Structures are given as C-alpha cells and as structure tokens.
Chains A and B, each alone.
Chain A
Amino acid sequence: MATGSLGVDHASMPVQGKFERSIDDLMLEIEFNGAKRQVPVGTTILDLLQESRIETRFCAVESNLDIVPKSHYGSHQVQSGDKIEVVTLVGGG
C-alpha cells in the first residue's frame, strides 16, 4: 500500500466520517514509460492506454519486464510501484 506518496498532509485533511479513508488508499504510484504517475486504485492497463490515446492494436505492454497479453489489458490492474512499459513499432533497418 502506498504511503504518503503524494506528499499530502494527512493531519490537515477534513474528517468526513468514520469511513473516511486517506487519499493514499485511493491512489497509487506507478512508473509509466519512464515517468512517475499517480493513478487510482483499480486502474487497468486498458485504462492507461485509453487515457494516453494509444492504439492498442499497435502496441505491446510490459509490467515489470513481463509481457501483458492483449487479452489481459482490461483485467490487469496495476499495483503500486509497477513499472509499465508500452512500446510500438517505428521505422528501422
């Protein structure tokens, strides 16, 4: 579970009731193509690709160096600290 990764001052956050949860319980930090990124808990690979307008037909995705099959994009939820890499084809010799 991520703790304090957003640098939020929890002490000053308004208490909304006994079911109040820290924002850190709702967000987690991943590395997406080399950049740190905060995403909501439950974010899937497909969410990440769609948000970045990446054509899923043309890409391959790695999570912590393991390839994520295309059929798992919609179900594979990212975890805190995951390193996600998305690649495509470009011109080359």
Chain B
Amino acid sequence: MMSESTTSSSDLNCDWKLDQTLTVGSHTLRSRLIVGTGKYDTNQLMKDSLVASGSDCVTVAVRREKMYTREGENILDFIDWERYTLLPNTAGCFNAKDAVRVARLGREILRGLENPGENWVKLEVLGDTKTLLPDPLATLEACKELVADGFEVLCYTSDDPIMAMRLKDAGAASVMPAGSPIGSGQGILNPNNLRIILEYLKSDDPNYPVIVDAGVGTASDVAVAFELGADGVLLNTAIAHAKDPVAMARAMHHAALAGRLAYTAGRIPKKLYATASSPEDGVITSRPW
C-alpha cells in the first residue's frame, strides 16, 4: 500500500511521512483521508476504491436489517475490519434523540466486531432533506449527550466558526465543517470561514483536528482543504460517483499527500504584481520605461 510514499520519501530530506498520520481522540490513522462506503455500484468496486484511496478509516451507516429479502451480502463481507477502523455515522437523523439512538446502535455493532471504532461516531443531525444542512441546535444537543455517554464525537457541522467553537467546547473530538452541501461536489465554497475555524479552534490547541467533511467534487478540492490547514478530509460521493471510482480514489490519495505537504512546506504569499524569477542583475536588454 502507498508504494509512492515509500519511493518518494527517499529523495525528500524531511520527516513529512510522519506528518501524514491523523490523530483524532484516541485514534491515530495512517492516512488523512477518511472515505465513505455509500453509493457504490457494487461492493467489489467499493472495496477496490477503498484500497486505492490509501485510507485506513471508513464511514458506515446504521440501517434496519432487511428481512427475508436479504441477498446474503453484507457490506462487512467486503470491508476488512481488521484493516480499517470503522466510523459509524448517524446519517439520516433529523433530531438529537434519533442521533443518540443510532450512535449507540452503531457502537453495539462495532463492539461485536471488536473494531477500534466502537468508541467514536460521526455525528450528523440534519435539519432539512433538500439541503441536508446540519441542524445546529440539535447537533449541539446530541454532541453533549454522546460525549457524556463516553463517545468520541466527530461532529459534522456547517462552516460557521461560532458553531464550530460551540461544538469544540461541548467536547467534540473533531469538528468537521462542510466545504459545501453533502454530495454536491461544489468544493470549498467559503475558504475564509474555514480559515477562521482553523484559527479559532487551534489557537490554544494546535493539534485539535479539524476535518473537512462533505462537498468535495474532485482532487483539487482535497488539496485546497489541506493547503488551508485542515487536518483531514472526509469524502464519499466524489469517489463513488466518479466515472472511474478507483482512479478517482487514487487521485484523492495523491491530492491529500500533495495538499498536506504544500501546507507544511509553507506557500508564498499572494502578491498583486509579478516578481521575476530570473535575475535583473546583468540583463543585456532594454526596458520599456
């Protein structure tokens, strides 16, 4: 896995490979990408895409068992849960009570699998079926209750910096602002809000993990999120609904590496006017002024 990382690290005289891990609560992941497992045409395509993404953490949803009509295929037959840390979500919940209930059921399933993900949850409490925007009040309420119940809560929220602070204060292990609406592929609509969130949440706590969750459309969106300073990116649709999901998963992997590396490398400031790359000293040509 990640053979590129191994080969390219040899010609880089720095410990950037160490920086490619993501720590959230008690979990340390080998990749900064967290990928979803929904919307794939087949489970096999999902499995191949997960491998291509280089991720070691995947989100899953909790749903009612299909009775009698079961085709005998469970997604867990296609996810090596000794390799991947599962991150159960509360997708489809529109109030705090439902979200807490679903989070507890997810924990119960993962306990049975002895998967390390049993103590955490991706909390999402939505306010509206059309926009799938989070309900901030219900999200905060559920976050508090789940933290009190011992969960490490990775909290999906909008890109509102004040809400992000409230969730961190409520004990969220990670605040996960949306780049744009879920599944919209619009990328990061408000990078300035993301900058403020990162500044506020990390001001007294530089290692506090902020993960951009939702809205990614293509690899450059992932790179932008990391270049802004995000610690992780969580995405699903951009891979699952790409024409070639496996290739897109690979692209996302490279974008994550490139974006994070660019962030730690430190970009140049933007300037209004040009700065010549070749020296002025010794020019033999005339100037127009």
Contact = CB atoms under 8 A, between A and B. Distances in A.
Contacts of A17: none
B237 A93 contact: yes
Interface string B139-159: 000000000000000000000
Interface string A21-61: 00000000000111100000000000000001111111110
A87 B113 contact: no
Contacts of A54: 65, 70
Interface of A: 32-35, 52-60, 62, 65, 67, 69-70, 85-93
Contact of B62 (A32, A52, A69, A89): A89
20 contacts: A32-B67, A33-B64, A53-B70, A54-B70, A55-B74, A58-B74, A58-B113, A59-B112, A60-B105, A65-B101, A67-B104, A70-B111, A85-B64, A87-B105, A88-B63, A88-B74, A89-B61, A89-B62, A89-B63, A93-B38
B244 interface: no
B281 to A, nearest CB: 55
A91 B39 contact: yes
A52 B69 CA distance: 10
Contact of A91 (B37, B67, B70): B37
B209 interface: no
B44 to A, nearest CB: 12
**A-B residue pairs, 7 tightest by C-beta:** A92-B61, A93-B36, A93-B236, A60-B108, A91-B37, A91-B38, A89-B60
A88 B67 contact: no
B65 A33 contact: yes
